[in-house]
Amino acid sequence: MRLVRFEGDESQTIARVPSSQVELTHFRNVTNSVVQDALNVWSDIWGELEGDVACGAAVATEDDKGFTPSCGWPAFLEKMWVLRQNLDFLSRFSRQ
């Protein structure tokens, strides 16, 4: 399919539907970008938890202060929200 404009006796192609290969390449590029963003956010979150995690399992701290992220709770929760949004986008995008 293509969009054509006619002027007098001549026609000009304005736009074409992208080929399957172009659509697949675009899909891969968008997916790769969103996955990389999600991995970066996960890395930031993991870095916050690193002191309280050993062998992939959470370890309770010995003091009663509890966990406080070095970036502060607002920034930490924003990172969690961004991670959730990226994963939600990937889920919906891959179902299209």
- Burial bucket for residue 41 (CB in 10 Å: 0-12, 13-18, 19+): buried
Q: Is the pLDDT of residue 38 over 80?
A: yes
Domain residue spans of the chain: 19-95
Helix axes 73-95, 20-49, angle to 10 degrees: 150
> What is the average pLDDT value for the chain, to the nearest integer?
79
Q: What is residue 14's predicted lDDT score, i.e. its pLDDT?
A: 67
- Residues 52, 70: contact at Cβ < 8 Å? no
Quote the percentage of the chain above a pLDDT of 90.
7
